[in-house]
Amino acid sequence: MVLCLESGEKDCFISMLKSFMRYFISIPKTTALAFYIGTLTLIVWNLEIAHNLVEQERFFKTLVSFLHNIHKVGEAGIEVSSSYKSMWASVEQLWPIIMKEFIRCLKTELWIKELVLESGIQRKIQNLISKHNSDPEGETQTCYGLLNAVLEA
């Protein structure tokens, strides 16, 4: 997936970002569309064009909740939660992208890291990466490992 965004009009991107944030907050999270909108929102947000939007705190809280529900610990290690199994094949390639962009946000904005730590998701992440996984080098395990490392730093 290649996304190239360039514009001399910063207001255009801010407007788009606000729309993405509002839309992500409002749509059902058990749809493939949530993965696409969430990913696009993070990519645009990471362009560092606007980090003081009213919508951003609610967006990131919603995103953390969304990420919290995608995976669970199963018999084979990390598994996709039942709510997401039917669509996982169509969004699986977005997983490393959304996690990479989310980690970039955590590294650049301390308040987002604090929000994530306050959410309690770190315990779940640690539980996910500590369990035996049938594919310990898989992208899911790697993404959670990287996210945990950023949260512990």
Pairing of strands 77-80, 71-74: antiparallel
Give the residue from 46, 64, 55 showing the smallest Cα distance to 109.
Answer: 46
Separation of alpha carbons 147 and 64, rounded Å: 12
Which of the pair, 136 or 55, is modelled with greater confidence?
55
Separation of alpha carbons 119 and 43, rounded Å: 22
Say yes or no to pLDDT of 14 above 50. yes
Span 85-112, pLDDT tens digits? 998 999 988 888 999 999 998 998 888 9
Can you say whether residue 77 is alpha, beta or left, with left for phi > 0 and alpha for psi between -120 and 50 degrees? Answer: left
- Which structure tokens are listed for 124? 């779940």
Q: Structure pTM?
A: 0.81
